[in-house]
Amino acid sequence: MKHVSDSQATMAEKPGWRGRFYEDFEVGDIYRHPFGRTVITTDNMWFTLLTQNVAPVHLDHHYAAQTEFGKPLVDSTFTLALVTGQSVIDVSMNVMANLGWDEVTLPAPVFEGDTLYSQSEVLEKRESKSRKNVGIVKVRTHGFNQDGTVVISFTRTIMVYKRGQAPEIPRVELKS
């Protein structure tokens, strides 16, 4: 016989955040993504090397000290990846596919030690013409540093599952 304590018997399992589905998006909604992220030297070097970017402004502190910035610039594709990743919790946890990033602008540099934050605004949504289980959503995302300076802006178009149409997330039961 399995023993269940009184507190276990009265506690209900609460589902975790599953993200937004197509029906949850409304044009004009703004999502301030909850997590900031401080960029460190290792992030910049590893990402730059992983992508075979050999620009010394990212890898060589001595070289970068001679530029107008006086220090290494963070690889801009890392900035794009990081800010996109920050938006997943609110925008694309239930994505079927990314359809594109457009209008990418980098109005200010990112440096090692900067902390980046982001927010997204829903620009458009429509039913998919080719798939009944998803809709198309377009958002504009802004990434900004600890001073509130915008360092990247882009639009992203995604195919997002409708409620009840996404694959089930596997749940393994806890053994007692």
What is the reported pTM? 0.88
Q: What is the pLDDT of residue 172?
A: 87
| Residues of the chain scoring pLDDT < 50 | none
- Which architecture, in CATH terms, is 19-161? Roll (3.10)
Question: 20, exposed or middle or buried, with CB in 10 Å at 0-12, 13-18, 19+?
Answer: buried
Q: Quick check: 145 and 120 in contact, CB under 8 A?
A: no
DSSP lists the bridge partners of residue 125 as 137
- Residue 141 near residue 157, CB atoms below 8 Å: no
Cβ count within 10 A of residue 144: 21
What is the percentage of the chain residues whose pLDDT exceeds 90?
Answer: 84
- For 58-75, how does the pLDDT look when each residue is reduced to its tens digit (9 = 90+)? 999 999 999 999 999 999
Dist CA 106 CA 145 (whole Å): 12
Three-class SS state of 55: coil
**3-class DSSP assignment, residue 23:** helix
